[in-house]
Structure formats: structure tokens, C-alpha cells
Amino acid sequence: MPLQNRVTPFGEILAHPARGGLMGNRGCLHDDKRRLGDRRWAHQAWVACALSFKDWQRQVMRPGVYTELFFTDEAVALAAGHRPCGMCRHADYIAFQQAFGRARPELGPRPSPGAMNRLLHADRVHSRSRRQRTHEDDFEALPDEVFFTLPGQTRALVRRDGQCLAWSFEAYHPIAARPAGPVTVLTPRVAVDTIRAGYRPGRA
């Protein structure tokens, strides 16, 4: 039976057999039977990691250590509120950090991890309800790799290479109609601004 460790663009953590393109960390969220409780983060440093690094081997969801979460790709990880890991994805982290500094110049050209984590956390989740924060924007103003939903709909869509794609764990599928006007953006506002400032999310 699949473990409950696959993350959707809505930030939900579900059990699904699909493999991930990136691994994530929010701290230890599981018990000694590898089951998730009510907690959805243990700290504010939500990172997205490479699936392999220095031939390190891990037992997934080992008791007492962090819960390995998995994303289809970086667009999903960013929508769920994660940023690149500074160790296993160092080059991506530096690129994200520099773009973050351009998006929020008051933090300086190389914002600290703590400063980025605080702003991301404020934009990604309601702390009391644990619900994802969203914001409204015009579809034509969105950069590629940003997730959104259309008015009256609940499926997660992403803008990519001039197309609008519907997400699922298994694949992306083009939708026929090109959106127009306001949409509900799932990717945290500061992450959207970081993409606008030049960060290029990786693809699976």
C-alpha cells in the first residue's frame, strides 16, 4: 500500500503510487508506523530536494526522522510552498536566492534562509487552519510554472510554454480553452514573484 507522502499543488499530502521527481522535507510528520497525524509541518524550512545525493541511502519514513515527501516536479513543490534545498540542490538554491532578492530587494541581494522561509510561510499557509493561502491574479500576468484554478473549478492547472495544462499525479494534459481574466493562484505570491524575477523551476 502506498505511503501517505505524495504532495499535490494544493499542498495536500496523499497516498498514491506515482513516483516523484523531487523529494521534500517539512520535518517529522509521521509516527513509528509510518502514518501521518494532524501535523503538516514541524518547522518553516520547507525544502525540495534531489531524489539522490552522494549515494546516500534512506529508509523512507524511518521513525523519529523527517518525513520524505514527494512532488511530481518543481512547479508542484513551489505551489505547495517549498523552495530548493541549499545542500543537495545548491546551484538551484543560489539561483532561487538571488531571484528572491530581486523580488524582495529590501532583503538584500542574497536573502538569508530564515528570511525566505518566513516570507514563504506567511504566503503559503494559514497557520491556524493549516489551509493553503491563495491569491488572485490575471492569467496573462502569470509566468510559466505557476499553478492556479479557474473560477468555479477545483482542478490544478499550470501555465507552461504558452499552454495551460491540467495536473495529475500521472501526467499533465493540455486543456482546450485558454483561460482569460482572473484566476486563483496556488503558488505562494512571493514564489510567483521569484519566478518573475528570473528563477526557472526544473521540470520532470
Who has greater pLDDT, 63 or 99?
Answer: 99
Residue 85: closest CA among 101, 109, 68, 108: 68
Q: Would the pLDDT of 134 be above 80?
A: yes
Q: What is the DSSP letter of 184?
A: E
| Percent above pLDDT 70 for the chain | 100
* 74-114 per-position pLDDT tens digit: 999 999 999 999 999 999 999 999 999 999 999 999 999 99
pLDDT at 16: 96
Amino acid sitting at position 150: L
Residue 81: closest CA among 127, 17, 31: 127
Q: Which of 1-5, 100-104, 134-138 has the lowest mean pLDDT?
A: 1-5
3-state secondary structure of 111: coil
Contacts of 196 (CB under 8 A, 6+ apart): 103, 143
Residue with cell 483561460: 179
Residue 146: closest CA among 101, 79, 98: 79
Residue 169 to residue 20: CA distance in whole angstroms: 9
Q: Would the pLDDT of 55 be above 80?
A: no
Q: Would the pLDDT of 203 be above 90?
A: no
On average, the pLDDT of the chain sits at 94
What cell numbers appear for 184 in the block? 486563483
Contact 145, 201 (CB under 8 A): yes
* 154-185 per-position pLDDT tens digit: 999 999 997 899 999 999 999 988 888 999 99
Residue 70 to residue 7: CA distance in whole angstroms: 6
The pTM (predicted TM-score) of the whole model is 0.95
